[in-house]
């Protein structure tokens, strides 16, 4: 007996599609601040920031903050903070993956988004470059 239904063939996921999803975890251009982690704290870390200046809808530029300890500020991380690892090879290729709080260490370069508070900055997202 021959089957009467036509089998349904599900195509394999397209490699480019999954790569596009992976790359869309975080857009570094959307960062409120970027910079190097100075030291770890009980609630997060201190950051020596490069301030991201918005120039328009699709343009921004990094401007170094004032030199010295006065330019450092506290970044608080909560249970809701999302961590993303950005792996870049220096040749323009990069990929992203979900990360974890333990990837943030002194001297790490990070991109952060969140809100300024009276006691510092509360991070919604921390993206770590080459953790």
Residue 129 or residue 64, greater confidence: 129
**Confidence tier at 20 by pLDDT (50, 70, 90):** very low
* Partners of residue 112 on adjacent β-strands: 33, 126
Q: Mean pLDDT, the chain, as a whole number?
A: 77
pLDDT digits over 70-103, tens only?
578 899 999 999 999 999 887 888 899 999 999 9
Share of the chain above pLDDT 70, in %: 66
- To 5 degrees, how large is the angle CA 109–CA 54–CA 32? 35
Residues 6+ apart with CB under 8 A from 50: 33, 34, 35, 62, 63, 64, 65
Whole-structure pTM over 0.75, yes or no?
no
């Amino acid at each position: 007996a021959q089957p009467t239904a036509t089998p349904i063939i599900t195509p394999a996921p397209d490699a480019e599609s999954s790569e596009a999803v992976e790359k869309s975890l975080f857009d570094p251009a959307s960062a409120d601040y970027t910079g190097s982690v100075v030291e770890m704290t009980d609630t997060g870390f201190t950051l020596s920031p490069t301030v991201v200046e918005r120039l328009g809808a699709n343009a921004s530029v990094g401007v170094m903050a004032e030199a010295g300890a006065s330019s450092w500020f506290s970044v608080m991380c909560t249970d809701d903070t999302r961590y993303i690892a950005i792996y870049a090879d220096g040749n323009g290729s990069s990929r992203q993956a979900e990360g974890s709080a333990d990837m943030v260490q002194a001297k790490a370069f990070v991109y952060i988004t969140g809100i300024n508070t009276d006691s510092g900055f509360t991070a919604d997202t921390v993206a770590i470059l080459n953790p």
